[in-house]
């Protein structure tokens, strides 16, 4: 941060993502409902989104999330990565996850 201006980080395979603390979530028949407590807004995730959400409850490298989903679902690696990054960008924009760049999770 310089001069109070936020610098938006971009997601890479080495990025570490973790759910923020100011939210609560629950499983709804394989899907997820998330309440962002600062705004009071609820968000819903489908089954694949809910799986990604469960993976980011602890700090997790984006490449490890991709690897886990490739083992669990029949999907092309490029499509998997693009979809994961799109969801993580959305979660980041909504303030539901934090993004870190580093060498350890």
The separation between the first and the last C-alpha atoms of the chain, rounded to the nearest angstrom, is 22
Give residue 102's pLDDT. Answer: 64
| Contact predicate 99/91, CB 8 Å | no
pTM for this prediction: 0.84
Give residue 5's pLDDT. Answer: 42
Q: Is the pLDDT of residue 9 over 80?
A: no
Query: What is the tens place of the pLDDT at every residue in 20-72?
Result: 999 999 999 999 999 999 999 999 999 999 999 999 999 999 999 999 999 99
Which domains occur in the chain, in start order?
Answer: 15-99 (3.90.930.60)
């Amino acid at each position: 941060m310089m001069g109070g201006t936020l610098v938006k980080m971009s997601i890479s395979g080495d990025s570490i993502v973790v759910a923020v603390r100011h939210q609560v979530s629950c499983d709804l028949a394989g899907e997820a409902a998330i309440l962002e407590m600062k705004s009071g807004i609820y968000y819903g995730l489908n089954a694949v989104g809910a799986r990604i959400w469960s993976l980011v409850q602890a700090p997790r490298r984006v490449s490890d999330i991709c690897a886990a989903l490739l083992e669990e679902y029949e999907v092309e690696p490029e499509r998997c990565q693009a979809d994961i990054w799109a969801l993580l960008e959305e979660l980041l924009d909504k303030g539901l996850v934090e993004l870190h760049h580093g060498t350890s999770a």
